[in-house]
Amino acid sequence: MKILVCISHVPDTTSKINFTDGDSKFDTTGVQYVINPNDEFGLTRAMWFKEKQGASVDVVNVGGAETEPTLRKALAIGADTAIRVNAEAKDGYQVAKEIANVVKEGSYDLVIAGRESIDYNGGMVPGMVAEMIEANFVTNCISLELDGTNAKATREIDGGKETVSTTLPLVIAGQKGLVEESDLRIPNMRGIMMARKKPLTVVEPTGATVETTTVKFEKPAPKGAVTLVAPDNLDELVSLLHNEAKVI
Amino acid sequence: MTKQKNMSVLVYTESENGAFKKTALEVASYAKAVADQMGTTVTAVAVNANDVSELGQYGVNKVLKISDASLNNFNAKSYASAIAQAAKNEDAKVVIVSQSADSKYLAPILSVGLEAGYASNVVEAPSSTAPFTVKRTAFTNKAFNLTTIDTDVKIVGVSNNSFGLVETAGDAAAEDFSPSLPTSGVTVESVDKATDKVTIADAEIVVSAGRGLKGPENWGMVEELADVLGAATACSKPVSDLGWRPHSEHVGQTGKPVASNLYIAIGISGAIQHLAGINASKVKVVVNTDPEAPFFKAADYGVVGDAFEVVPQLIEKLKAFKAANA
């Protein structure tokens, strides 16, 4: 079985979010990049399939050379090979189109991505890829079992969860639950050394166009200071929530 | 004069057990605002809804009613196909969906099917319809992203609880609609859903608690507070990791996002990953013994105090308030 895990290269959660070029671009100054957390749960699940059920695991990213350390980290965690589509990621459609091409070229059986990236939060690439390659698709996936070409997946729904049966080829948009946080792997020295020798292939993009364009970023208006209410004066809190905030 | 095609704004109005969800009325209100900007009308697609007349009060002019038992279980591919056929039927240039779990599931499939650009997490009516420009959240609520959708047909995913409900006087004409449905390779085996509880996605108020509560046995007062307010209950990541509360209650960056009107955090310090997930809530209240807890910087109202003293008192005060304002 051939698994492809989509790896988004995103700023660490604690990064300061600033913009440059007339607020049209994300300011990368001093920003630490990581594997998108939702993708890391998927990668770890893919490693489980590789070790327990036999599978090859490749990782893919659409981005410039600056994303390669993130792909190397995925290799250090245990992926076999990495593919970087050499194009600046501009919108969900363009990225999906490039990934769909990689999936077709590589005849992957299972594609695992995160439910969304924590930077652009588009939440659309996995579903678009599935539709483009005419594969089955399950989103918000919190559990995935494979038996031959049959799959059983659980997805989070509003107020609960739903279990579905489906078949390969399959695209999964995963999140925490696919594996738990405690299952995530920190690359060890051996993994890091091995990752240096693993193939990282750069492929040229198909030249997919975009469907949406970012015009500008804005930061939320600075928040006012907190209004403190004394613990023995909760009538005031109730009154503020009713009269000032108008939420009760 | 040749008959012009309608080109109405199409909105997918989600229902559950035949009744429209609140998000359905919100996206209908949003669709009405877009239609007014474009000088056109609103057509809704409803699947297995009992009474569609309610949509008229939120600006819908026409409802394409789909009644099909095979759609009782949600199926993203089938639903996306039905909505795509409705969009073509109406020659709709703009399709509006909510950001419920189901709508987020179908929107990317619909986007490919209609060759329509899709903007998710949109929080305001378009600032312009030519070019079609919307404001969406990015960087997990730490920024907004002004985006143009450049395709002929556009899909807008409206964040829950961002636009609100706008009532209007009007009637919605119902029309039966029978799309041809594709075969889907995904079959629902079972659904596990608490029907008696307010979900975090739909809740106007969320009461959330953290490690400051010291143990799962102390959640009674959190549930009681939620009960008094008609709120959903949630928890911080450490609490779900410790198994004190189910994972489905975990809110934050890797958990569920919250965009309620009021978010009450009890004994939650306010780690950046937690705040990222709940920042879209409009009003935040924190109760914590530690005045240095980072949550106080993110909150609108704060009580520095012991949750075990503050929460029971707050429950009593709110009960009295409810009784006086009933």
Q: Where are the domains of chain A?
A: 2-218
Which chain A residues are Cβ-neighbours of B288 within 8 angstroms? none
Q: What is the pLDDT along chain B (326 residues), one digit of tens a residue?
A: 444 556 999 999 999 999 999 999 999 999 999 999 999 999 999 999 999 999 999 999 999 999 999 999 999 999 999 999 999 999 999 999 999 999 999 999 999 999 999 999 999 999 999 999 999 999 988 999 999 999 999 999 999 999 999 999 999 999 999 999 999 999 999 999 877 788 898 899 999 999 999 999 999 999 999 999 999 999 999 999 999 999 899 999 889 999 999 999 999 999 999 999 999 999 999 999 999 999 999 999 999 999 999 999 999 999 999 999 88
What global pTM score does this model have? 0.94
B92 inside domain: yes
Cα of A16 to nearest chain B Cα, Å: 9
The CATH number, out of the four listed (3.40.50.620, 3.10.20.30, 3.30.56.10, 1.10.150.120), of the domain defined by the range A2-218: 3.40.50.620
Determine the structural domain holding residue B280 and report its residue range.
205-325
On chain A, the residues whose CB falls within 8 A of the CB of B300 are 223-224, 226-227, 245
Beta bridge mates, A19: A26
Regarding whether B142 and B56 lie in a shared domain, the answer is yes
CB A5 within 8 A of CB A113: yes
Least Cα separation, residue B316 to chain A (angstroms): 10
- In a shared domain, residues B82 and B217: no
**Does the interface predicted TM-score (ipTM) exceed 0.85?**
yes
**Does residue A222 surpass a pLDDT of 90?**
no
Set of chain A residues whose Cβ sits within 8 Å of the Cβ of B199 = 158-159
* CATH code of the domain in which B254 resides: 3.40.50.1220
Distance between CA B24 and CA B60 in Å, rounded? 11
Asked whether residue B274 is assigned to any structural domain, the reply reads yes
Do the Cβ atoms of A124 and A92 come closer than 8 Å? Answer: yes
User: Using CB atoms and an 8 Å cut-off, which of residues 41-60 of chain A contact chain B?
Assistant: none
